[in-house]
Structure 1
Amino acid sequence: MPIIQNRRGFMAGLAAGTVGIVATPRLAFAEPEPETTSVRLGRWVGGAYCWESLYLAGELLRAGGMTDVQYVQGNQKYFDSSEWIAAGETDFDFNMPPMHIRSVEAGVPVKILAGVHSGCWELRANDRVNSIADLKGKRVGVWAMNDHPQVFLQLLINYVGLDPNHDVEWVVGVQENRSLMQNFIDGKVDAFLLDTSQYSEVRNKKVGHTVFSNLIDRPWSQYFCCMLAGRTDYVDKYPVATKRVLRAILQAVEFCVSNPKSAARAVVDRGFLPSYDVALTTLQNTGHDRWREYDAEDSVRFYALRLLETGMIKSSPQEIIVKGTDFHFFEEIKRELKT
């Protein structure tokens, strides 16, 4: 009979440091066998600390009958994983809502399925910058133009009434093969956006000060930062498998909330991430506990409106929602995992 995984068994298996994350199954409800046993999930070699729940989901999926779970590093010429799913290299993508929404706008066959967590970013700046509005006329460091951090910064800047195309100077660190932090330390930029994997380092070194955090600063803190999307053909053709993928990820999110130390140890021991301390810091500084509370459709609507205001898309938020979202799996799993 079909099963879902016992979350307590999953936690116990990880906490005990077992070789595999093998949960103790329990009978839950009649669910058909998955239409396919294969799925391709993305991974960034050496990075993507906020993807920990995605990395932990693999063994739950295997235990639940998805025997061919592949973690794929997409084409490295791309700066953003949204390109992997657009190219058909992965079946699901963790990303910020703006990137998923822009994919929908561009006609990429993708469905936004769920919200995962909030709070991946801080804007650090020098003493000349005390608010986002102070970025006018300043140099802002980014890894690349048009990837998800730079797109997010454009939305922040536009939201306070500045023109992101003319009121700031974008400095691309990768052109000089330099880190954004080093560019900031050397005085080449006035501000830069960092993710949770860098929080401990910048604070220990006292590099700049925090101007903005999407974990605490409204309205951005009220919406999902990372959301899950799937290829439309996979979602439509394999709905049972899709639901199992989503369920496993959300169970892993629950584990990250309840036992962050074991979760951080697991992703490092299994070779997904190199640093336990950074993995733990990431879990401690992101809102993984908010996935039940936040409204996924509202997050899409909020970011679609920001993108429309900034001129990055032409579709209305409702058009994006109708064309590129499917949250019924998410709502079903929320009900299932209440117990």
Structure 2
Amino acid sequence: MQIIQNRRQFLGGLTAAGGAGLFKVGPSNATGKPAPETTTVRLGRWVGGAYCWASLYLAGELLRADGLTDVRYVEGDTKVDNTEWLAGGVTDFDFNMPSMHIRSIDAGARIKILTGVHTGCWELRADNSVNGIADLKGKRVGIWALDDHPHVFLTLIVNYVGLDPDHDIEWVVGSPMQDFIDGKVDAFLAGTSEFPKIRSEKIGHTIVSNLIDRPWSQYFCCMVAGSVDYVEKYPVATKRVLRAILKSADFCASDPMSAAHELVDRGFLPSYDEALLTLQETQHDKWRDYDAEDSVRFYALRMQETGMIKSSPQQILANGADFRFLDELKQELKM
């Protein structure tokens, strides 16, 4: 585990007060609300990528202005999915697809899904032999690794149209986009950091986009989960963490150009163009409109159908979701 703490990332040329002014939000203490029970929080950081984590990265400055002065961005083991960072106690909050949170909850991890943030992280791209998901039967599909969140998402997509993910698809582990370019696979799942290249170079064509294609576009792609130990012990701090993330999401939606500059200037992301396109194509204002509980229920049902989890959607919600903070924040942050 490596804790990322340098002046460029944390301050980026801004004071805590300046950061708060940027998002048009003042410290909670100024309104007479109780101080947080702790001044420390650990958030994840994926070095060199995770463009869809923008609101998590931008939340740090707001948190410092709001009483959580010790905000630590932690890089966990990049050989495992970052949900394992949360389940293993490396981070206090995790930014991930609902499917990965649900899998952790089913396995008994002490985590709670707290809010959704946005959708639109993925496009399934294919060559001319594939015109729809059903055409993937017998095809080679490129993935980064077995059982990581892109592979899990693809498995749910193909199962939804009646294909058997274990027998109808040839999963090819490697570098999906490059393998597609080299003709080694027939389709691959492109993430937001790859959108500029696939657009400019016209790499394949889109079969499914979770920004526009139902049912996937109707549900959150990225949701926030927190450690039960942190959430139960520090409810005031937890609410401030979520408040900062959701205020940052509003900033990403309303001013993507400025948000992209901030992400690069603070050292969280290397490419302004990739950051900007990500913010333009992921709907960061959907946290107000989409139903977080409905997203968890939808993904849990799909995962139960494929045999990925044993728990029912009702059990997942009962054991691993807590939307009281979100309900309060939707009222407090009305625009």
- TM bracket, shorter-chain basis: over 0.9
CA distance in structure 2 between the aligned counterparts of 1:221 and 1:245, rounded to whole angstroms: 26
How many aligned positions are there? 317
Residue deviations 1:128-185 (CA, integer Å, cap 9, x gap): 1111111000000000000000000000000000000110000000xxxxx3211001
Matches within 5 A, 1:131-146: 131-146=132-147
Q: 1:304 aligns with which of 284, 289, 300?
A: 300
Deviation, 1:26, is: 6.6
| Partner residue, 1:65 | 67
Q: 2:14 aligns with which of 15, 19, 37?
A: 19
| Partner residue, 1:5 | none
- Aligned to 1:338, what secondary structure does the other structure show? coil
CA distance in structure 2 between the aligned counterparts of 1:151 and 1:113, rounded to whole angstroms: 21
- The answer to whether the 8 Å contact 2:112/2:228 transfers is yes
Deviation, 1:19, is: 2.3
The one-letter amino acid paired with 1:19 is L
Q: How does the TM-score come out when normalised to structure 1?
A: 0.91
Is 1:50 aligned to 2:52, yes or no? yes
Residue deviations 1:82-108 (CA, integer Å, cap 9, x gap): 011111100000000000000000000
CA distance in structure 2 between the aligned counterparts of 1:22 and 1:97, rounded to whole angstroms: 29
Structure 1 unaligned residues grouped into runs of 5+: 1-16, 174-178
Deviation, 1:30, is: 3.7
| Partner residue, 2:215 | 219
Deviation, 1:242, is: 0.2
CA distance in structure 1 between the aligned counterparts of 2:292 and 2:136, rounded to whole angstroms: 30
Of all paired residues, the percent bearing the same amino acid is 70
Is 1:334 aligned to 2:330, yes or no? yes
| Partner residue, 1:198 | 194
| Partner residue, 1:188 | 184
The one-letter amino acid paired with 1:153 is L
Is 1:233 aligned to 2:229, yes or no? yes
CA distance in structure 1 between the aligned counterparts of 2:79 and 2:151, rounded to whole angstroms: 17
- Aligned to 1:152, what secondary structure does the other structure show? helix
Matches within 5 A, 1:256-295: 256-295=252-291
Residue deviations 1:246-285 (CA, integer Å, cap 9, x gap): 0000000000011100000001000000000000000001
- Aligned to 1:291, what secondary structure does the other structure show? helix
Q: More deviation in 27-36 or 120-129? A: 27-36
- Aligned to 1:112, what secondary structure does the other structure show? strand
Deviation, 1:203, is: 1.4
- Aligned to 2:285, what secondary structure does the other structure show? helix
| Partner residue, 1:246 | 242
| Partner residue, 2:39 | 37
The one-letter amino acid paired with 2:171 is W
CA distance in structure 1 between the aligned counterparts of 2:41 and 2:126, rounded to whole angstroms: 41
The one-letter amino acid paired with 2:302 is R
Q: More deviation in 91-100 or 199-208? A: 199-208
C-alpha RMSD of matched pairs (Å): 1.2
Deviation, 1:22, is: 2.7
The one-letter amino acid paired with 2:279 is L
CA distance in structure 1 between the aligned counterparts of 2:27 and 2:269, rounded to whole angstroms: 31
